[in-house]
């Protein structure tokens, strides 16, 4: 999908924002939500429809959203995790019913602590004893709450119940039961998305640092999920910032066939002055990417519509 006008950009941004807002409403008020399960499935279809328009633009908007503000953290985190689990499920050729259970679990895994999760994102202090207890029990409590709300998909419930279990990381995925494999995927994605998101108590990490941490944490038996994650979003995902070898600053636009060489929009001169007009650059060419940056390290006011327009040129170059 090419973004031809500022209205196109605003419309697409509004659709993603409305999806996040709607998700936030049902996660914050689950017992007041009529036909809760149907609403979750509805938001899943909405998300898939937006991704089908252009996955790179969707990732760009999501990573900007996840890394720039802790406001509404719970819904933002759930949506990022749902998108990433969907992309991994497609990459790993999971059966449709497994993909559905996994994504629905990603959307609702923290439903038992939504309000507290938003509170923690803006809290400078470490979690209190009461908060730590809620964190410890939220998977089990969330499973019970979802069952009470009418969720009858046992796989969906089982994934949530076990997505923090250490045992799923020790499992050999080639022989593990489907639910163990799916819980492992959700655990990896949950950790990755949490790393890139800022809190009041700390800045978010760069997506690259987060990906490398995931890979380093994985054992030889279970790193298939980490590799799949890097394949679907790249080492430098759309919407994240990088520093080039010549000291220019850039924002990643689109993935390429090489996960460490995306297309970027160069937004500054080597001296640090902002460019009036960003320029498209394929990082498989010189200058290459030197390092990734956390969003908190960049104080740029960008016109994302103009930047995303460059994505059409990147798509043509990739073809």
Can you give the CATH number for the domain in which 91 is found? Answer: 1.10.3210.10
Whether 199 and 262 map to the same domain: the answer is no
Tokens representing residue 118 in the block: 């938003």
pLDDT at 22 over 90: yes
Asked whether residue 1 is domain-assigned, the answer is no
List the one residue out of 257, 304, 288 whose CA is nearest residue 63. 304
Note if the bond before 287 is cis, omega within 30 degrees: yes
Whether 19 and 66 map to the same domain: the answer is yes
Rounded to a whole number, what is the distance in angstroms from the first to the last CA of the chain? Answer: 14
User: What stretch of H or E contains 130?
Assistant: helix 129-148
Mean per-residue pLDDT, 160-179 = 87
Asked whether residue 282 is domain-assigned, the answer is yes
**Which of 155-159, 258-262, 308-312: highest mean pLDDT?**
155-159
Query: What percentage of the chain carries pLDDT values higher than 90?
Result: 52
CB 245: neighbour CB atoms within 10 A?
13
- What pLDDT score was predicted for residue 118? 87
Among 83-87, 206-210, 262-266, whose mean pLDDT is lowest?
Answer: 206-210
- What pLDDT score was predicted for residue 207? 59
- What pLDDT score was predicted for residue 296? 74
Residue range 198-214, pLDDT digits in tens:
544 444 455 566 555 65
Pairing assessment for the beta strands 241-244 and 289-293 based on DSSP bridges = antiparallel
Whether 17 and 122 map to the same domain: the answer is yes
Asked whether residue 11 is domain-assigned, the answer is yes
Last residue of a domain, one of 233, 249, 264: 233
Residue range 96-148, pLDDT digits in tens:
999 999 999 999 999 999 999 888 887 878 889 999 999 999 999 999 999 99
Full residue range of the structural domain in which residue 283 is found: 241-318
Up-side HSE of residue 147: CA atoms within 13 Å toward CB? 12
Last residue of a domain, one of 214, 233, 252: 233
Asked whether residue 115 is domain-assigned, the answer is yes
Whether 201 and 260 map to the same domain: the answer is no
Pairing assessment for the beta strands 274-282 and 263-268 based on DSSP bridges = antiparallel
Residue range 194-250, pLDDT digits in tens:
877 654 444 445 556 655 565 555 544 447 888 898 888 888 889 888 999 999 999
Mean per-residue pLDDT, 270-292 = 93
Whether 275 and 208 map to the same domain: the answer is no
- Number of domains present in the structure of the chain: 2
Name every residue whose Cβ is closer than 8 Å to that of residue 131 and which is 6 or more positions away in sequence: 116, 120
pLDDT at 54 over 60: yes
Burial of 229 (0-12, 13-18, 19+ CB in 10 A): buried
Residue that has been written with the tokens 């939500």 in this structure: 33
Mean per-residue pLDDT, 294-315 = 80
- pTM surpassing 0.95? no
Name every residue whose Cβ is closer than 8 Å to that of residue 224 and which is 6 or more positions away in sequence: 92, 173
Q: What is the DSSP string of 21-64?
A: HHHHHHHHSGGG-TTHHHHHHHHHHHHHHHHHH-HHHHHHHHHH
Tokens representing residue 247 in the block: 């000291």
* Residue 244 φ/ψ, nearest 5 degrees: -85, 170
Mean per-residue pLDDT, 270-289 = 93
């Amino acid at each position: 999908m090419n973004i031809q006008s500022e209205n196109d950009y605003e419309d697409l941004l509004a659709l993603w924002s409305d999806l996040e807002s709607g998700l936030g409403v049902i996660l914050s008020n689950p017992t007041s939500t009529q036909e809760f399960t149907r609403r979750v499935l509805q938001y899943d279809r909405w998300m898939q429809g937006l991704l089908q328009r252009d996955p790179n633009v969707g990732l760009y908007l999501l990573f900007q959203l996840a890394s720039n503000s802790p406001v509404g953290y719970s819904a933002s985190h759930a949506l990022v995790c749902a998108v990433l689990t969907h992309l991994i499920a497609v990459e790993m050729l999971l059966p449709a019913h497994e993909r559905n259970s996994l994504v629905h679990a990603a959307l609702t895994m923290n439903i038992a602590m939504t309000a507290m999760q938003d509170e923690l994102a803006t809290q400078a202090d470490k979690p209190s004893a009461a908060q730590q207890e809620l964190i410890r029990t939220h998977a089990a409590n969330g499973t019970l709450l979802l069952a009470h709300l009418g969720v009858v998909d046992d796989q969906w419930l089982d994934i949530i119940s076990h997505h923090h279990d250490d045992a799923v990381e020790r499992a050999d995925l080639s022989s593990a039961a489907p639910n163990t494999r799916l819980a492992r995927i959700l655990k990896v994605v949950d950790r990755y998305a949490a790393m890139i998101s800022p809190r009041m108590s700390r800045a978010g990490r760069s997506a690259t640092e987060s990906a490398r941490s995931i890979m380093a944490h994985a054992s030889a038996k279970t790193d298939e999920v980490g590799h799949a994650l890097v394949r679907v979003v790249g080492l430098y995902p759309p919407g994240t910032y990088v520093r080039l070898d010549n000291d220019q600053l850039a924002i990643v636009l689109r993935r390429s066939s090489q996960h460490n060489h995306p297309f970027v929009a160069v937004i500054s001169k080597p001296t640090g002055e902002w460019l009036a007009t960003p320029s498209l650059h394929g990082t498989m060419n010189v200058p290459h990417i030197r390092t990734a940056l956390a969003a908190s390290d960049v104080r740029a006011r960008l016109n994302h519509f103009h930047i995303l327009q460059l994505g059409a040129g990147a798509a043509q170059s990739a073809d």
